Amino acid sequence: MTLLREEPGCATPEPTEPAEHPSRGGASGFGPRQLLAALPAALRKLHPRHQLANPVLFVVWVGSALVTAFAVAQPSVFSVLVAVWLWCTVLFANVAEAVAEGRGRARAETLRRAKRETVARRLTAEGTEETVPGARLRIGDLVVVSAGEVIPGDGDVVEGIATVDESAVTGESAPVVRESGGDRCAVTGGTTVLSDRIVVRITSRPGESFVDRMIGLVEGASRQKTPNEIALTILLSTLTIIFLLAVLALQPMAAYSGSTQSVIVLTALLVCLIPTTIGALLSAIGIAGMDRLVRRNVLAGSGRAVEAAGDVSTLLLDKTGTITHGNRRATELVPVTGSTITELAGAAHLASLADETPEGRSIVELCAGEFDLGGRTAEVVLPVPFTARTRMSGADAGDRQVRKGALAAVRAWVADSGGTLPDEVERIADEVARQGATPLVVAERGTGAAVVRGVVRLSDVVKPGMRERFAELRAMGIRTVMITGDNPLTARAIAEEAGVDDVLAEATPEDKLALIRREQEGGRLVAMTGDGTNDAPALAAADVGVAMNTGTSAAKEAGNMVDLDSDPTKLIEIVAVGKQLLITRGALTTFSIANDLAKYFAILPAMFAGIHPQLSTLNVMRLATPQSAILSAVIFNALVIVALIPLALRGVRYRPSTAAALLRRNLLVYGLGGVVTPFLAIWLIDLLVRLVPGIG
C-alpha cells in the first residue's frame, strides 16, 4: 500500500538547526575539510575585480600589495610578516564567502543530478499525441504524463488525478496527490508520476523551471544585496574613508614630532582601524541566511524577502489549505420545509456534475453513494463555473437552472427571479456556520420563481497544533489575520478554534489587497501565505509572500518565497531565520567595531611612545616592542575572521523577546565581548611574536 504524505504538512516543533537530508547537501558545520575545499575558490577571489565589490576589503588588498612591494624592496622580518598576514586577512575573508557559496553549490549539484532531460507527449490541436523533447515545450502546451514517467516541465494539472514523487525537489520520500481543480494542481518539472494519468498545461519556459531557478538561487549566482546590506556597506565604506584620511593626516603630525612612520606601519594601522571583520563576513552572512531557508525547504526569491521576514508585524493567512486541511467535503444535506432530501440531492448533484473542485466532487460522491444518483443525466448540461464575484456555480439543463453558493449570493439570485429566501434557510446556515462548517445553499428555478432546496454542509478541519504555533507568533509580536471567503459565522468559529487574532470574512481578492495596503500604510510589514490563484495579487503586494508548493503556478510566481513542504506554519521558522539574519549582522558589526578599541591600544602607543614616553601608560597589555605590538594586532585582525566564520554561517541564536532585551543582550555579549576578547588575544599572540628574531 502506498503511504501518502499529509498535505499541507502539520505543525512540528521548531528546530534549532534542522538536520540535512540527502537532497539538500552536506552538513551545516564548519571544519578543516570545508576550509581546505574552499581555498581554491578563495584564491581565485584574490583578483582585484572581485575585491572591488567590497570597498573595505579592496582597501586591505591595496594595502597588502603596497606592503608587499616595500617588503621586496627593503626586506625585513617585520615587513615580510606584516605582508603575509595582510594577505591572510584578504584570503580569510574570501574563505568565509567561498564556504558559504560552496554549501549552496553542493545543494545545486544534487538538484542537477535529479534534473533529467525528458521526452514529452504533447497533445496537438486535433487531440492526438506527438513526442517532442522537453526543451521544445512552450507555455500553454498540454502534455500527457502516465505512471512511471517524469513530468517534463512546471505546470498545472488540467485533467485527472495522480500520485507524484517529489523527493528530488522536497526531499520527502512520501508521494503526494496532484489533481485538476482546486489548489493542488501545480506540478514541478523533474518529478515523477507514480500512478494514474494526468494532463498538464506547461507554465514555464525551458531553462526557467522551478528547479532551474532553485539551482541559481542556492548557488548564490542570483543573490543581490539587500537594502540593509547596501546601507551597511555604505556605512563601512564611509568609515574606511574617514580612517584613511585620519591615517594620512598622522604622517605630517609624526614628521613634525620627529618620528616619521613607515608606510608598512601606517598600512597596518589603517587595516586594523577599518571594520575589516564585518566587511569580510558581510557577504557570508547573507548567503548563509538564504542557505538556512533552503535547509528548511523554503526557496526565497531574494535576500530582501528574508530580511523583511525578520521585521514582519502582521501575518495574513488564507484559511483553506493553510489553517485548515483545505479539502472541505460534503458531509450532510439539510433540506428546507417544502423540499425533500431527494430533491435537494438531485439539485446538488446536477449543480456539481461539472464542478472539478474537491468540494464539488465530494458533493457528487455523497449524492451518488447515499441517494443512488451515480449516473450522468441524460440532459444536456451547461456548466456555470464559480467566480469570485458571483460566488456561485451550478449548471443549466434545458429550462432548469440550478445554483449552489454562499447564502448572500443565492439570496440575490433567488430575488432576481421574483422569489424569496425562507427564514429557515438562514437559520440552518447560521447553525452550520456556528459549528465551524461551511453552508452551501442550493436553489433551482424553471420557468417560474427560484426555489431554495436546502443547505449542503461542507466540513473543514483545522490542522493540529495551529493554536500553539499562533501563540509563538504572538510571542514574537506578530498579529495574525485569517482571510477567508466563508461567511462571518463560519470564519469566526474556525478563527477561534485556530487561535488567530483577527479574521476577514467573505473576502474578495480586492478585500485582501485593501487590507494589506491598510496595514502597510500604518508602517507595518505584512506577510501573506496562500496557495490559490485568487491569492496571487495579495502575495505579490505583501512584503513577504509565501506560496505553498502544493498551490497553483500563479501563486508561486506571485510570492517571493515558496514553501516546498506546503506547511503554512513554516512562516514561524521563516520569521525566525529573518530575525536571526538581522541579529547576526548586528552582533558581528557590534563586535567588529568594539574590537577596534583593543587594536588602538596596541598600535597607537607603539607608534608614538618613542617621542612621547607618557603614551607608554596606554600600553595596558604590556606588549614587548612596537613591532611586536603592531604585528600582533595584524595577526589578530586576520585570525578573528576565521574564528567568526562558524558564527556567521550558523547565525546568532534567536529567542522571541522584545527589541530592548535583544539590544541589551547584543551589547553585553558582542559589545563587551568585542572589547575584552581582543585584549586577551593580542596579549597571547604577543607572547609568541616576541620570540621571533628581529621582532621581540
Average pLDDT of the segment spanning 645-658:
81
- State yes or no: 589 annotated in a binding site: no
> What pLDDT, on a 0 to 100 scale, did the predictor assign at position 134?
78
Residue 536 has pLDDT above 70, yes or no: yes
Bigger pLDDT: 80 vs 219: 80
Percent of the chain with pLDDT over 70: 84
**Most confident range, picked from 117-121, 364-368, 505-509, 623-627:** 364-368
> What pLDDT, on a 0 to 100 scale, did the predictor assign at position 6?
38
- State yes or no: 404 annotated in a binding site: yes
The CATH homologous superfamily for domain 325-461 is: Calcium-transporting ATPase, cytoplasmic domain N (3.40.1110.10)
> What pLDDT, on a 0 to 100 scale, did the predictor assign at position 431?
87
Q: Cell digits for 521?
A: 500604510
The per-residue pLDDT for range 149-197, each reduced to its tens digit, is: 888 888 888 888 888 887 766 655 567 788 887 667 888 887 888 888 8
Residue 634 has pLDDT above 50, yes or no: yes
The per-residue pLDDT for range 210-220, each reduced to its tens digit, is: 666 666 655 55
Place of cell 487531440: 127
Q: Is 423 a catalytic residue?
A: no
> What pLDDT, on a 0 to 100 scale, did the predictor assign at position 69?
94
Residue range 119-152+154-203, CATH number: 2.70.150.10
> What pLDDT, on a 0 to 100 scale, did the predictor assign at position 208?
67
Residue 85 has pLDDT above 90, yes or no: yes
Average pLDDT of the segment spanning 450-476:
83
Bigger pLDDT: 324 vs 21: 324
> What pLDDT, on a 0 to 100 scale, did the predictor assign at position 575?
84
Split at pLDDT 50, 70, 90, the class of 15 is very low
How buried is 568 (Cβ within 10 angstroms: 0-12 exposed, 13-18 middle, 19+ buried)? Answer: buried
- State yes or no: 625 annotated in a binding site: no
Query: What backbone torsions phi and psi does residue 135 show, to the nearest 5 degrees?
Result: -70, -15
Instruction: Determine the Cα–Cα distance for residues 260 and 252; give it in Å rounded to an integer.
Output: 8
- State yes or no: 460 annotated in a binding site: no
Average pLDDT of the segment spanning 85-96:
92
Selected catalytic residue, list 318, 460, 543, 563: 318
The per-residue pLDDT for range 95-112, each reduced to its tens digit, is: 888 887 776 666 666 656
Average pLDDT of the segment spanning 243-270:
82
- Virtual CA dihedral for 360, 365, 366, 367, nearest 10 degrees? 90
Structural domain boundaries in the chain = 33-102+226-292+577-690, 119-152+154-203, 300-323+463-564, 325-461
- State yes or no: 392 annotated in a binding site: yes
> What pLDDT, on a 0 to 100 scale, did the predictor assign at position 27?
38
> E strands within 154-291?
155-165, 176-179, 186-187, 192-193, 197-202
DSSP assignments along 281-339, one per residue: HHHHHHHHHHHHHHHTTEEES-HHHHHHHHTEEEEEEEIIIIIB-S--EEEEEEEPTTS
The per-residue pLDDT for range 134-153, each reduced to its tens digit, is: 778 888 889 999 888 888 88
> What pLDDT, on a 0 to 100 scale, did the predictor assign at position 213?
65
Split at pLDDT 50, 70, 90, the class of 8 is very low
> What pLDDT, on a 0 to 100 scale, did the predictor assign at position 228?
77
Average pLDDT of the segment spanning 77-88:
93
**Do 420 and 400 contact (CB within 8 A), yes or no?**
no
Bigger pLDDT: 566 vs 426: 426
- State yes or no: 550 annotated in a binding site: no
CATH class label, 300-323+463-564 = alpha beta
Average pLDDT of the segment spanning 361-375:
79
> What pLDDT, on a 0 to 100 scale, did the predictor assign at position 60?
93
